[in-house]
Amino acid sequence: MCGAPSQDTLDQTLPVGVDPATATILQGRVVRSGEPVPSAYVRLLDRSGDFTAEVVSSATGAFRFYAAPGRWTIRALSPAGAGEQSVDAGTGFTETVIDLV
Amino acid sequence: MSRADVLVSADWAEQNLGQPGIVFVEVDEDVSAYDKGHLAGAVKLDWKAELQDQVRRDFVGKEQFERLLSSKGVSADDTVVLYGGNNNWFAAYAYWYLKLYGHRDVRLLDGGRKKWELDSRPLTEEVTPRPPTRYRAAEQDTSIRAFRDEVIAAIGTKNLIDVRSPDEFAGRLLAPAHLPQEQAQRAGHIPTALNVPWAKAANEDGTFKSDDELRALYAGAGLHEGKETIAYCRIGERSSHTWFALHELLGQQRVKNYDGSWTEYGSLVGVPIEKEV
């Protein structure tokens, strides 16, 4: 199931041209009771709460965004529940776990 | 024209799967999504491989479009119901594209794949073949398509509506954040453009907001109803979503989609750009 860009390759390498020395990469996993949640709709909201992007979590619950340094909120929605987490991201990788309730 | 003529609910879609004269068509940014499951009987349209000329940057010509829809088994008098991922971005793009070539009855499935999946409605991997047709298209209706010179001339005179996220509008990002950010073009927006992100027209489940909410949204943002409107985004798919809201749901007549959008404008030599400092 995949209504937005596939995240199936996330456990592998970054796309060609993405340099973690200059890019701001927000990534992580969607879980419920410790178990990964695939096919969750994961959206990235900016500091004003405006939509910036949405992806669908991979078979292992993984997601990834390419953004800019700053404060972001990641919100996940699935038939299994919803959850969100705010993060302060800088250059490089920022890892987050979104717990659905 | 009313909302019911252009937008169908998931309930309506589920009840009308397989009905003669109704063709469900899936269009996704992730072109592999259809293969992993789709609405029963739906056909797939690839926005990149099938709707774009594969050499120069433009749409396929009228005859190529006729061959494409004929091979998909779509007739000119069929009701085409479009749906897809990414909150229907590319389904709305295909909707606008079919209207450009004069298809009479096109509708969007409200909420697209997302609403369908969140409702846990059935998907199938089975592909149902459709017999080929002899599809006839009209010449492109350029009253709904804007080109770059018209966009430059619209600065300060027509409504320009930039439907990208606030960070793209401000020039902090160059693409939606599910895509890598390294791009060739300059960042920012067309001077005098209003920023009304496409997402403000949609609910969290991907369905469109009510007509009253949409009217309040665009009026509140300063869109002047007496003027012509040109909507743009990065490549023209999110602005198709807003074109649909303005032209199809609210019935505003003089609304165009600028499919060249920021990937064209932000690469032009010598045009004015505004950027947040």
Asked if B36 and A1 come within 8 Å (Cβ–Cβ), the reply is yes
Chain B nearest CA to A25, separation (Å): 9
In a domain, A12, yes or no: no
In a domain, B270, yes or no: no
Task: Determine contact: A5 vs chain B, CB below 8 A.
Answer: yes
In a domain, B275, yes or no: no
In a domain, A89, yes or no: no
In a domain, B274, yes or no: no
**pLDDT-derived band of residue B6, with 50, 70 and 90 as boundaries?**
very high
Q: Looking at the predicted structure, is the pLDDT value of residue A6 above 80?
A: no
In a shared domain, residues B131 and B147: no
Q: Percentage of chain A with pLDDT > 70?
A: 88
In a shared domain, residues B116 and B159: no
In a shared domain, residues B239 and B164: yes
Q: Looking at the predicted structure, is the pLDDT value of residue B113 above 90?
A: yes
What ipTM describes this predicted complex? 0.82
In a domain, B45, yes or no: yes
Asked if A50 and B199 come within 8 Å (Cβ–Cβ), the reply is yes
In a domain, A61, yes or no: yes
In a domain, B30, yes or no: yes
| Rg over CA atoms, chain A | 13
Q: Looking at the predicted structure, is the pLDDT value of residue A11 above 60?
A: no
Average model confidence (pLDDT) across chain B: 96
CB-based burial, A70-85: b 16+ in 10 Å, e otherwise: eebebbbbbebeebbe
In a domain, B236, yes or no: yes
The last residue of a domain, from among B87, B121, B140: B140
Distance in angstroms (rounded) separating the CA atoms of residues B28 and B91: 7
CB-based burial, B53-63: b 16+ in 10 Å, e otherwise: eeeeeebbeee
Give residue B211's region: left, alpha or beta (phi > 0; psi -120 to 50).
alpha
In a shared domain, residues B158 and B120: no
* Range from A12-26, B162-176, B245-259 carrying the lowest mean pLDDT: A12-26
Asked if B199 and A51 come within 8 Å (Cβ–Cβ), the reply is yes
Q: How many Cβ pairs closer than 8 A exist between chain A and B?
A: 103
Q: Looking at the predicted structure, is the pLDDT value of residue B184 above 80?
A: no
Domain carrying residue B148? 143-265
In a shared domain, residues B15 and B64: yes
Average pLDDT over residues B218-239: 96
In a shared domain, residues B77 and B124: yes
Q: Measured between beta carbons, which residues in chain A are less than 8 angstroms from residue B114?
A: 3-4, 41
Distance in angstroms (rounded) separating the CA atoms of residues B193 and B31: 31
Q: Distances in Å between the alpha carbon of B34 and those of A5, B123, B201?
A: 12, 10, 25
The last residue of a domain, from among B91, B118, B140: B140
**Whose CA is closest to A95, among A23, A27, A32?**
A27
In a shared domain, residues B164 and B112: no
CATH number at residue B40: 3.40.250.10
* CB burial of residue B194 (10 Å; 0-12, 13-18, 19+): middle
Specify the pLDDT at position B30.
Answer: 86
Catalytic residues of B: 233
Q: Measured between beta carbons, which residues in chain A are less than 8 angstroms from residue B173?
A: 52, 67-68
Cβ pair B229, B252 in contact under 8 A? yes
User: What is the largest distance, in Å, between two alpha-carbon atoms of chain B?
Assistant: 57
In a domain, A80, yes or no: no
In a domain, B101, yes or no: yes
Enter the DSSP assignment of B137.
P
Specify the pLDDT at position A1.
Answer: 38
**Whose CA is closest to B110, among B21, B244, B9, B41?**
B9
pLDDT digit string (tens) for B229-265? 999 999 999 999 999 999 999 999 999 999 999 999 9
**pLDDT-derived band of residue A4, with 50, 70 and 90 as boundaries?**
low
Measured in whole angstroms, the distance separating CA B274 from the mean position of its chain's CA atoms is 25
In a shared domain, residues B125 and B11: yes
In a shared domain, residues B16 and B119: yes
In a shared domain, residues B7 and B127: yes
Q: Percentage of chain B with pLDDT > 90?
A: 91
In a domain, B277, yes or no: no
Specify the pLDDT at position A10.
Answer: 57
In a domain, A44, yes or no: yes
Average pLDDT over residues B99-116: 97
Structural domains counted in chain A: 1
In a shared domain, residues B17 and B125: yes
The 10 Å Cβ neighbour count of residue B232 is 29
Specify the pLDDT at position B185.
Answer: 87
Who's near B27: CB < 8 A, 6+ residues apart?
B44, B45, B46, B47, B82, B83, B84, B90, B91, B93, B94
Asked if A66 and B180 come within 8 Å (Cβ–Cβ), the reply is yes
**pLDDT-derived band of residue B31, with 50, 70 and 90 as boundaries?**
confident
Domain carrying residue A53? 1-6+21-69
Specify the pLDDT at position A5.
Answer: 59
Between vectors from CA B68 to CA B65 and to CA B70, what angle results, nearest 5°?
110
- B67: helix, coil or strand? helix
Q: Looking at the predicted structure, is the pLDDT value of residue B107 above 60?
A: yes
Between A11 and A43, where is the model more confident? A43
The last residue of a domain, from among B140, B156, B184: B140
In a shared domain, residues B75 and B90: yes
Nearest 10 degrees: Cα torsion B208, B213, B218, B222: -160
